[in-house]
Structure 1
């Protein structure tokens, strides 16, 4: 859900409605007064305040935070989230090998995001061997999701070649072995391109314990993004949702706009580095992804990067979080 799209407002609303409200922890302090000259301090302060606010407004529901392994100061963000009272830490964009050791001694639950059975197996084996523990939840993110994706661009261009359902079933089998070993249920959640009640029912019938949904919640009143950002989803068409390659080399899905057009011709000069992602080199990056995502969430959509899921074009109006959840669960 990118920079600023899912913070305390959206997370609390989802939690009140019976879901797990998830805060995006990347550059969460983008609108703090000291962000420009001390982004780490601003981000940690904002992470704390948004977790506390979401917890206070969640009606005792579950609040999680998504922290990318590829972000700089990952450990500092994990520790801040724990001390702020978060219930769950979700981690992808890399293998969260150190996560169990970082949450040791707390009651915080942990959930890796994986795209393949191989990645799931590697993570669970490492956690089992090194930390004598396992996941509390597994999120299986498919190729129809938005943002940074765990696939090659060539694979996404030929999306029918990716058998997500088979990977999902294989991950269920892998997880079952650790569930037995640690004598606990490990819910496996489907994610990526889930848009309708039929989609939800399909994955529940396949063995999922739940689903993770992003796109439909962007176009809600409670979403933390600007009205202009939400309107880009409502106004999008199937043809203007394209694959892009982010400055860190990972493919993603975004709404085509003037920003993408300009960057396909020439790269802007990077005047400031926010030191957000480990793989990013300001000397060679085609653009600053922090600046692009911050522009988008603030409403400067012509100068921003608008990540979205494959089905964003199906969004045709603003709704409440309650309406979205009722619609998604209507066939259960």
Structure 2
């Protein structure tokens, strides 16, 4: 199949692959810049990005914004002119400040989900940064693009369709997940919505598919249905350049199919993770929160089932038995360490 390029401003990919943003600390400048160097789009996750800063425990918000800027600048320096983007969840506290920090630091793209990024065009007004909402249905795409058009006179540069097989937080109910809805069914529906705004704004709006895309065969399949590219996260975890601890990567490599489960997240959305001692403890009852890191705007420390920030920091730092390990449905298929260069080369060969 012909390999399409994705244009982000005056830059262009060599492969139609976006590396999905993975927080906390799984996709920072190391992974993102490696992907960008190979011609893909590297994504830094904003979620509690400052957890390594010395003052994170005292001033998490300040530490996060500072780290956000540092990681973007570092990634751009190491990307050899490649494309660097950020993933910012709508549900995050200080959402506006993360957007501002991304613009100031020179990020090329903002991908935003975990809620509807209704005000994103207003926040980036006057900048050259490109914007992409994450949607899980035709309805969500229609609501967002209609709102952006009416209130800001702008449309998306990309639209990321995240299917139910994705990792981390999912934009589907548990009932929908049990129905095993295929992302393939959503692609033509979203394409129909996007076409209206492509015509109105006389521009290409790239449709990117995420969730369950594992190999070149999967890439070919979704692109044959009209996608312009894919977003992949799980495959990039077991790479040397991934910013997570080796124990986190080994958890993917050692996982079995039955270990991949749906969990309830304090964010209020279902999520997909690897079943481990921590996940088992969450099923036994509430894990009291000792400190609030103000990561999610609607979180109530007194009632939340556990602190998701602490759980994610533990796992990315290597304490996987006491942490939450988000993953995609195909994590169990990852069985060895590799490099970003080797992985992308393999994917491209599989597409031929």
TM-score of the aligned structures, taking structure 2 as reference length: 0.93
Contact 2:245 2:316 in 1 (8 A): yes
SS at match of 1:120: helix
1:248 to partner: Cα distance: 2.2
> After superposition, what is the alpha-carbon deviation per residue over 1:162-221, rounded to whole angstroms, capped at 9, x for unaligned?
242221111011101101110110010010010011000111111111000000000100
Structure 1 position 112 matched with structure 2 position 133: yes
Structure 1 position 290 matched with structure 2 position 309: yes
What is the match of residue 327 of structure 2? 308
Matches within 5 A, 1:1-332: 1-159=22-180, 162-330=181-349, 331-332=351-352
RMSD (CA atoms): 0.8
SS at match of 2:24: helix
> After superposition, what is the alpha-carbon deviation per residue over 1:264-305, rounded to whole angstroms, capped at 9, x for unaligned?
112222111001002211111010000000000000000000
CA distance in 1: counterparts of 2:328 and 2:183, whole angstroms: 15
SS at match of 1:224: coil
> After superposition, what is the alpha-carbon deviation per residue over 1:211-270, rounded to whole angstroms, capped at 9, x for unaligned?
000000001000000000000000000011111010122101110000011121122221
CA distance in 1: counterparts of 2:344 and 2:59, whole angstroms: 38
CA distance in 2: counterparts of 1:51 and 1:320, whole angstroms: 21
CA distance in 2: counterparts of 1:315 and 1:163, whole angstroms: 21
The gaps in structure 2 that reach 5 residues or longer are 1-21
Contact 1:200 1:329 in 2 (8 A): no
CA distance in 1: counterparts of 2:167 and 2:267, whole angstroms: 15
Contact 2:240 2:340 in 1 (8 A): yes
CA distance in 2: counterparts of 1:163 and 1:46, whole angstroms: 37
Contact 1:234 1:316 in 2 (8 A): yes
The gaps in structure 1 that reach 5 residues or longer are none
Contact 2:183 2:211 in 1 (8 A): no
CA distance in 2: counterparts of 1:133 and 1:171, whole angstroms: 18
Runs of 4+ in 1 over 6 A off after TM superposition: none
SS at match of 2:89: coil
Contact 2:23 2:49 in 1 (8 A): no
CA distance in 1: counterparts of 2:301 and 2:29, whole angstroms: 31
Q: What number of residue pairs does the alignment pair up?
A: 330
What is the match of residue 4 of structure 2? none
1:158 to partner: Cα distance: 2.7
